[in-house]
Every structure is written in structure tokens, then in C-alpha cells.
Chain A
Amino acid sequence: MSEFMLETQNLGISFGGLKAAQDVNLKIKPKELYGLIGPNGAGKTTVFNMLTGVYLPTTGRFFLDGEDLTGKSTVEISRHGISRTFQNIRLFTNLSVIDNVLVGMTNRLPCNMFESMFRLPRHFRTEKELRAAARELLNVFGLDEERRSLASNLPYGKQRKLEIARALATQPKLLLLDEPAAGMNPHETAELTETIRFVRDHFDMTVLLIEHDMSLVSGLCDRVTVLNFGTTLAQGETSEVLHNPEVVRAYLGD
């Protein structure tokens, strides 16, 4: 295992003349809970989109566990072990809760797509194993009871949890959470904090999260990076960075 689970080197992207993000240098250690914060439009989700292959970075490179994944497709990156959730929940709303998780397991060996079409016995066996694994995962998030209901029928907080479960179903090394606490009340946020910590401990997961809720960030993240207008404003230990006058100014204005 390399020293850093995720390392980005001068990662940046411009859309025409607009530099949406530039010179982003992240060094995230294994099992670290790392925060990416900044005002709206600072380029946080853009960074996620580069890290998952949705956008092709115009400059810089990024490495997962020492392996260069720059320029790879979304599917390849997902297979190499980066998975994510979305700012606006993007569950498969017409599929059941358990099917959402099973979709995340599509690529798990040992049964590929064509085998699942033609070699039925093996298909049914793996299907059974996957179902068991999916239920286990749902149990962790307290969703097993609702596994048969449609994802769209879950209450908001549970949809957020299901998105995390689905992301974990791809067996990632690095989990990207895009505003996991958005729209949650303080009670749900506290519960989510526990869930994320549990995921880190239980799955040995490295987590990079975007969040506006400072109580969650300061309670959860070991280190943070602050982006503003696409550039890095500050980074380091969470408590230090959050008291940095420049950071305060970026958030509150002069």
C-alpha cells in the first residue's frame, strides 16, 4: 500500500476560459476522513467529477493507492476503487432498495455478464451470494427491513444512506461523499456522522467528503482543504484551518 490513498498533483480543469479548479493538491492517507470545503461554486464537485472520470482534467494527475488513474473512464475508475455519492441524490428510483445495492455489485467476480446469461447454475449461485452480501450491507445502514420497497419511497435521510450503501457495494478503496448531510436536520446529521465513522472503521475506508455543515466537518474530518474560486485557500488540520482568518473571510465575506 502506498503512503497516500489518494494523491492529486496540480489537478485542474478549465471550461473555455473559466478555470473551474486549478492546482488542487490533495494527499489523503489510508483510513483518513478528509473534508473538501469552500463556498458555493468553489469547484468542489468539479474535483469529484475529475476524480471519477466524469470530467477529463486539463492539467495535473491523480493517483489512487499509487496508481495513476488520470484519463481513465468512469467505469475503469469505479473498477479501480473510487466510488461516490451525489449532491442531488441519484438513486435508481424505480428499482427496489436491494436492487440499487445489487447494481453496485454488477462487476463483482466470479460471474461476468455473459455467464449470467448462459451459464445458469453458476449465475444463480452468485446471485444468491450477492443477495446475501447486499443484505449484509443494508443491515449496516439499517435498511434491510425496507429492502423490497422502491428507492423512491424511502424517506430522505434513508435515501442518503442507501446512496452510501450503493457506493460501498462497488467495493471501493476511496469513498467520495458529495454533501452527505445536505437537507438533514441536526439529529440526522449526528446520526450520519456516526455512520460515516462506522464505515471508515468497519470497511477500513478512506473517505473524502464535501460538506457545508461545519459541525459535521469539525466533528468528523481529520484534515480539510478549503477551495475558493477553484484554487486552494488553505489546507491542514481541521481545527486550525477553520480558524484561519482567510477561510472565515471567504465564507462570511469581508
Chain B
Amino acid sequence: METLINGLSLGGIYALIALGYTMVYGIAKMLNFAHGDIIMAGAYAILLVVGMTGNLLLSVVALIAAIAFCVLLGVTTERLAYRPLRGASPLAVLITAIGVSYLLQSIAQLFFTSEGQPVSTGAAQLGSVTFLGANLKLSSLITLGLCVMIMTALTLFVDKTRVGRAMLAVSEDRGAASLMGINTNLIITLTFAIGSALAAFASLFYLMQFPVVSPTLGSMPGIKAFTAAVIGGIGSIPGAMVGGVLLGVIECVCQSIPALSPYTIAIEFGLLIIILLVRPVGLLGKKRREKV
């Protein structure tokens, strides 16, 4: 029970990050490998606001600051690094994204050194509740609850609003969408903004569980969330959610079994390989028909 809740909340974090990957992939048709570093940037924003105070209210302020900073950063990188390459070969864009990733990490190192810096979000002092004999950390429950809310809101936004519809249209056929009068650049910018805002939430939730900030903080959750997005079917929003939660639960279950815990990461990426072998488009991915 404990493991399951911890797994679900970790999975929620992965899902939030995976959504950033999958939405940008679906709409801009590119893999934004710098997405993990947006989380790192958000974490430093939180560090600057909260520091070691462990003040919960300050953590909320920090979240807002992180959202603002991440959105600004995400939109800026899109504008400066990716937009000039619109229409370039996917490989060029991919390599640019990796470059942006290293750039962001180096900038963080310049300002904050490569040392890990502890941060106290006040998550620890939240304590835990006992439910059905299980000892559940309140911070995990809050993470889980907020993740569910954010994902519900995002799903409603995409399915029910005009902007969401425009996003789906751009993701299906950018050319046809722009001929229908949809400003595709604006939609892509908006996608980066949403992805970065989700990453900011992920920063806080991640720090609540692993309270140390370093310039490479984003790499591991970034790559795992990317794995989650691919497992779920990259480009698919529900796929990212399913993939993220699945990966989080597997990670926590593996870690709770002593015999398996050293192999946790191997098992996670092994799962990716198996799923790709069985279902190359991912769990919820759509098979692509060749156009004739």
C-alpha cells in the first residue's frame, strides 16, 4: 500500500514531465531533450525562494516563481533555438536540443557550482497519515492529488477548448491547420509554455522527495520521463500519463524488494525495450498509416 502510493506519486511526477515531452513531440514534431533541464532550472528557482527555510507557504510562492521562470525559459529556448530550425531535418533539431540541454546545465554550473545544494520545501515536516494500517507520507498524497488534478485539467483543456482543438489540428497536419487560419507558431509556443509549466510543478514535487539541487538534477527524471512517454506512445497525452505512472510504480516496487532494488534502473529500461519490441508505437500510440 505504502509502496503503491509512493509509486503512484513518483509516477505522477514522471507523467507530468512525460507530458512535456509528448506534447512537444506531438505538436512540434521534435524531441526536446532539454526538457529535463527545465526541471533543473525550476528547482534552482525554488531553491532561491525557499532555501532551507522549510516554510510551506514559501514553497507555494516558490512554485509560482518556478512556473514563471520555466515558462519564460521554455518559450525563450523555443524562440531562439528551435524556431529558426523549423523545417530543418529532425536530426539537426535533435542535436540542437541536446546542445541546449548542455548549455542550460553549464549555465547552472556557472551560477551555482556543480555541488548539490540541499533545499527544504517543508515536505518532510508534513508527516504522514495512517490509513488501513499503512503509513502514508502526506507529501506523496499531495503530489498524487495535484498530479491527478493537473492531468484532468490538461485533458479537459485539450478536448474541450478551442486552443486545445487547434493543438490537435496542428499535431495532425500543420500545413492544413495553418491554411485554416491557425497560427501554428503561436500554438507551438503555447505548447512549450504548457510543457514548461508542468515541468515546474514536477520540480517542486521532485524536490519534496529528493531535496538536493544540482545542475544535472534534470537528467535522470528527464530520461525516465522520456522513457515513460515512449512506453505510453510518444505523442499521446493519455499515453504519457499511463507510461509515467507505470514507470513510477515499477520503480517503487523494485526498490521495496531488496533482491531487485540494485537492478531498478535496468528493469525500467528493460521494460522499455520489451514494450518497443512488442508494440513499437507504445502502449497507447497510434499506428501510423502511410499516406498514398
B162 touches A90 (CB 8 A): no
Q: Chain B residues near A73 (CB, 8 Å)? A: 178
A99 contacts B176, C-beta separation under 8 Å: no
Known contacts A95-B165, A95-B168, A113-B186: A90-B176 contact under CB 8 Å: yes
CA distance A106 to B177 in the complex (A): 10
What 1/0 flags go to A76-93 for Cβ under 8 Å of B? Answer: 001100011010101111
A117 and B163 in contact, given A93-B172, A95-B168 (Cβ under 8 angstroms)? yes
User: Which residues on B sit within 8 Å (CB–CB) of A93?
Assistant: 172
> Is B183's beta carbon under 8 Å from chain A?
yes
Q: Say yes or no: is B198 at the interface (Cβ < 8 Å to chain A).
A: no
Chain B: interface secondary structure?
Answer: helix
A55 CA / B291 CA spacing, docked (Å): 22
Per-residue contact bits, chain B 75-104, to A (CB 8 Å; 1 contact, 0 not): 000000000000000000000000000000
- CB contacts (< 8 Å) of A54 on chain B: these are 175, 179
CA distance A78 to B168 in the complex (A): 19
* Minimum C-beta distance from B113 to chain A (A): 39
| One of A52, A84, A123 near B161 (C-beta < 8 A) | A123
Within 8 A of A (CB), among B157-191: 157, 161-163, 165-166, 168-169, 172-173, 175-184, 186, 190
B residues in contact with A166, CB < 8 Å: 180
Please tell me if the beta carbons of B161 and A92 are within 8 angstroms of each other in the complex. no
A83 with B179: CB separation less than 8 A? yes
Interface presence of A116 (CB below 8 A): yes
Count B interface residues, CB 8 Å: 25
Bound-state Cα–Cα, A102 to B181, Å: 12
How far is it, in angstroms, between the C-alpha of A76 and the C-alpha of B258 when the chains are bound?
Answer: 62
Given contacts A90-B173, A92-B172, A95-B168, contact A78 B162 (CB under 8 A): no
| Cross-interface CB contact of A88 among B179, B181, B291, cutoff 8 Å | B291
A111 CB contacts on chain B under 8 angstroms: 162
Collect the chain B residues with CB atoms within 8 Å of residue A130's CB. Answer: 162
| Known interface pairs A88-B291, A90-B176; A103-B182 also in contact (CB < 8 Å) | yes
CB-CB under 8 A from B176, the residues of chain A are 86, 90-92
- Please name all residues of chain A whose beta carbon is closer than 8 Å to the beta carbon of B292 when the two chains form the complex: 88
From B169, which residue of chain A is reached at the shortest CB distance? Answer: A103
Given contacts A84-B179, A113-B186, whether A106 and B168 have CB atoms under 8 Å apart is no
- Bound: A73/B182 CA distance, A: 11
- Return chain A residues, CB-CB under 8 Å to B181: 75, 78-79, 104, 106-107, 170
- Interface contact A95-B180, CB-CB below 8 Å: no
Q: What is the CA–CA distance of A84 and B163 in the complex, to the nearest angstrom?
A: 22
Q: Which residues on A sit within 8 Å (CB–CB) of B162?
A: 102, 105-106, 111, 113, 116, 123, 127, 130
Question: Complex formed: what's the CA distance from A106 to B165 in Å?
Answer: 9
A247 to B268, CA, bound (A): 67
The interface residues of chain B lying within 8 Å CB-to-CB of A91 are: 176
Q: What mask results when residues 105 to 130 of chain B are scored 1 for a CB within 8 Å of chain A, else 0? A: 00000000000000000000000000
Please tell me if A215 contacts chain B, counting CB pairs below 8 Å.
Answer: no
By beta carbon, the residue of chain A nearest B181 is A78
* Across-interface contacts of B179 in A (CB, < 8 A): 52, 54, 74, 78, 83-84
Are A106 and B175 neighbours in the complex by a CB distance under 8 Å? no
| CB-defined contacts of B173 to chain A, threshold 8 Å | 90, 92
Chain A residues near B183 (CB, 8 Å)?
A: 75
The yes or no answer to A94 lying at the interface (CB within 8 A) is yes
B178: contacting residue among A75, A86, A104, CB under 8 A: A75
CA–CA, A149 to B89, complex, Å?
35
- Collect the chain B residues with CB atoms within 8 Å of residue A99's CB: 165, 168
B180 near A116: Cβ-Cβ < 8 Å:
no
- Name the residue on B nearest A79 (C-beta): B181
Chain A residues with Cβ below 8 Å from B177 are 92, 103
- Say yes or no: B178 contacts A117, CB within 8 Å: no
Across the interface, which residues of A come within 8 angstroms of B161, CB to CB? 116-117, 123, 127
Docked complex Cα distance between A124 and B176 (Å)? 26
Chain B residue at smallest Cβ distance from A99: B165
Closest chain A CB from B96 CB (angstroms): 24
Chain B residues numbered 264-292 whose CB sits less than 8 Å from any CB in chain A: 286, 291-292
For the complex, what is the distance from the CA of A169 to the CA of B179, rounded to whole Å? 12
Give the residue name and chain of the B residue nearest to A78 (CB).
B181
In addition to A92-B169, A123-B162, 10 A-B residue pairs with Cβ atoms within 8 Å of each other are A74-B178, A83-B179, A90-B176, A92-B176, A99-B165, A103-B169, A103-B180, A113-B162, A130-B162, A169-B180
Can you report 25 A-B residue pairs in the complex whose CB atoms are below 8 A from each other?
A54-B179, A74-B178, A75-B181, A75-B182, A75-B184, A78-B180, A79-B181, A88-B291, A90-B176, A95-B165, A95-B169, A102-B162, A102-B165, A103-B166, A103-B180, A106-B162, A106-B165, A106-B166, A106-B181, A113-B166, A113-B186, A113-B190, A117-B163, A169-B180, A170-B181
A-B pairs, top 4 by smallest CB distance, nearest first, are A78-B181, A90-B176, A74-B178, A103-B169
